[in-house]
Every structure is written in C-alpha cells, then in structure tokens.
Chains A and B, each alone.
Chain A
Amino acid sequence: MLGYLIQTVLITNEIMLISFGIINAIAYALNDYKLKAIARSFASDIIVSLLLLWLTYAILYSNSFIYSSLDGSFINSTRYSCPESVSYDIFSCIATAFLAGNNYIYYNGRYEPTLADSVNSFLFEMYGLYIAVSAIGDLTINLFVVQVDLYYIMKPIISSLSELIDLLYFSLLSIYIQYTVILYITTISPLLLSIGVILRSIYPLRAIGSVIISAVIAFSIIMSSLYILDLYIYNEQSFILTQNISYYANSADTIYSYIGSNSPTAASYLQAYVESLSNEIYSYMNQIYSYIADVIFQVFVMPTINLIISLSAFRYLSKLLGGFDINLYRLGA
C-alpha cells in the first residue's frame, strides 16, 4: 500500500504543478489577483503534500532513520508479534504488539507478555482465587450446639472478587476493541491519505482533503505512536500475585481436616485458623486492588488520554492544513 500511496502523492504533485502553471498563466494574462492567490495556494499545497510524504515515508519506510534509531531486538520482536498486515507501519505494529500481539515483545533487555496476556493470566489467577474462596465460603461448621456458616465471613470477599472478575473481562474486551480499531485504521490509512491528497489538490474540495489528511495523521500516526508511551509505563508493572492460589485451596483442605477430626480442641484451632485466613485474604485484597488500579490505568485511562491528544492533534492539523475548524465540543449539539 505504501508504494501506491507514494505514487498517488507524486502524480498528484505533478498534476498540481501543471495546474499551478495553467492558473498562474491565466492569472497573469488577466491580471486577476484572486486567481493569483489560488495559484499561490496550489504552490503551498505542493510543498505541504511533499512534506507529508516525507513524514509518512520517514515513519513507514522500513529502512528509515526512525527504525534504525530504535533497538533492533525490540523492532524485530514487535514485527514478529504484530499482525502481518500492519508490520510495515512501525507505530501501529508496536501498538498492536503491545496490546494483543501473537508473541512476547522484547524491551529494556527482557521479553514481556502483551497487555492482553497479562490481563488474561491475572483474570485466571483471580478466577482461581474466587473458586477457592467460594469453596471456603460454602462450608458450614457444626460445633456441638453452634453452627458457623463461613459464607457470612467470606461474603464481602466473594462479592468483591466477582465484581473485579467482571471488570477484568471488560478490560480484556476493551484491549481487543482498541487492537481492532488500530488494525482497521492502519489498513485503510494509506488509501484515505491518498484520497485526502487528491481532494486537497482540487481547489473547491481543499478543506475536505485537509480534514481527511489530518484525521489520518492524528489517528494512524499520532494515536498509534502514543501507545509506545503506554508500553514504557507498562514496563514497570506485572500482574503476578505474590501468593499462589493453591495456598487457598490447601486452606480449604485444612478446614475440612479440622472439621473431620472431631477433637475437643478442634473448635478453638478452627476459629483461630479461619480468623487468620480471613485477615490474610483481606490484606491480600489490597494487592489485588492495586493491580486492578494498574489494569484500569493501562486499559482505560491511558487510551483515553491518547484519544484526547489525538483529537486535539486532529483539530489543530485540520486548521493548519486549511480544513474546517472542527469544534469537538459542539459535535453533539
């Protein structure tokens, strides 16, 4: 697609050069200042479209200085991890590899799982914990005249875990939605960019062309490149719980063994054990909440910031290239 884009921009530039000559000649012949201004705008458009082509080529061309300035192992691992259809576009490749790539990606000297894999493994851990805690909560202990229903002790934890699991499922869905959006934008962006350049070379459609070009730059290049920032923040985090789920499964076994022993001292042991276990689970929840906060930050907050920056860039670029003044606050009105 990159080859077609370059051809389109270059041929359009040739057309614009000749059109500039024709309009200029007529403007001089008629000594018409309005036509001269149109001719001048053609000249500036040629320079702008060549600059855009330079920018696109510098970013997308696999042998460009931007590629060589980045770590080779990082680039190779992202290329291996991102879908083949976007592997030519460095920023989209990094963004898709970071979100839900096929493989581990290499950065800062080590291989790391993708965001989707991390959230997925965290979800499995959470689900395991939920099953273990639910198993403990299902126990009813009959101690002589007293009946202890552990469900009431575990209820807040079970309901919290259930809600957090729902949130993690939604996070995973959000990651895949972002991945699909980037993939779609990257696939159609060369075509949209060439359509934008062509429309921009036709004087009455200049503003529409500018809006399309600025939308492509903002959402295909700027939004994808902002995911690199997310990647470096993500670098500090890994969602691995310190205590194994099997510990809680063993706890359920221990409680069963206390119940089965029928010893007179079993009741006091059981009470102490259940208390210490619930305390531990509550403190363990703090770690889970901090991880959930990280997941929300990376899956919802950072992409929202990316989107706001991209929309601002879209608006600014549209004005800069001579398009409409897109007022985002009035779009809903």
Chain B
Amino acid sequence: MNENKYIYLSIGIINLLVYIKAVLQQAGPILSSALFILAGIFYAIGQIMPYDKRARFQSTAINIIIGAIILAILSLTADSITNAAAHLILNTTNSSS
C-alpha cells in the first residue's frame, strides 16, 4: 500500500478546507453587520408605517437581529468552539487523565 499517496491527498483536502473556512470566516462577520444594518432599515421603515404593518416590520427586524447575532457569535467563536471540542475529545479518551 502506498500510504504517501493518501497523505498527499489528505494534505490537499485539508488545504482546500482551510481555504473554505477562511473565506467563510471573513464572509460571516460582513454578512452579520449587513444584516444588522438591514434590521435597522426595517425597524426605521416600520416606524413610519401604520401600526398593523409596524408590528410586522419590527418582528422581521428582530428576527434579522437574532440571526445576525447568532452568525456573529458563531463566526467569531467557531475556532474556540472547535478547539474546546478537540480538548474535550482528548481529555475524555486519554487513559492517563
């Protein structure tokens, strides 16, 4: 069995994944801030609408803010969450701990 062949392929896959991750990590906060702005626009438009439509605009704005907050948190903490998961796996499987 030529294990080197698999190792080179694995390194290639990892490099591709690292690139995709970097793109997403950059896109996440940008999208999050765009959503915050969008939520603000929706909220502002809601203010000038009659009261029945205002409620709908405001609830949409709150929904967008919730999504944006979750996206911001996950984009910024994805590394730490994964590291924590890796540490948890190591600690729970290691016999000496």
Which A residues have a C-beta under 8 Å from some C-beta of B? 1, 4-8, 10-15, 17-22, 24-29, 31, 50, 53-54, 57-58, 61, 63-65, 67-69, 85, 183-184, 187-188, 190-191, 194-195, 198
Contacts and interface: CB of A to CB of B under 8 A. Distances in A.
A61 B86 CA distance: 13
Specify the main secondary structure of chain A where it touches its partner: helix
17 contacts: A1-B3, A1-B7, A1-B10, A5-B10, A8-B10, A8-B14, A10-B85, A14-B79, A22-B27, A29-B38, A29-B64, A29-B67, A31-B60, A31-B63, A57-B90, A183-B1, A187-B6
A67 B7 CA distance: 25
Contact of B71 (A1, A22, A50): A22
Closest 10 A-B residue pairs measured CB to CB? A25-B67, A28-B67, A21-B74, A68-B95, A4-B10, A21-B71, A25-B71, A18-B24, A11-B17, A17-B78
Nearest to A58: B93
Contact of A63 (B71, B86, B94): B94
B25 interface: yes
A64 B90 CA distance: 9
Contacts of B48: none
A14 B24 CA distance: 9
A1 B71 CA distance: 33
Contacts of B78: 14, 17-18
Contacts of A69: 95
Interface of B: 1, 3, 6-7, 9-11, 13-14, 17-18, 20-21, 24-25, 27-28, 31-32, 35, 38, 60, 63-64, 66-68, 70-75, 78-79, 81-82, 85-86, 89-90, 92-96
Determine which residue in B13, B25, B66 has the highest number of CB atoms from chain A within 10 A of its CB, and name it.
Answer: B13
A166 B79 CA distance: 60
Contact of B82 (A17, A61, A184, A194): A17
A21 B14 contact: no
Specify the main secondary structure of chain B where it touches its partner: helix
Contacts of B60: 29, 31
A198 B17 contact: yes
B21 A63 contact: no
A28 B63 contact: yes
A22 to B, nearest CB: 6
A11 B93 contact: no
A194 B13 contact: yes
B63 A50 contact: no
Contacts of A65: 93-95
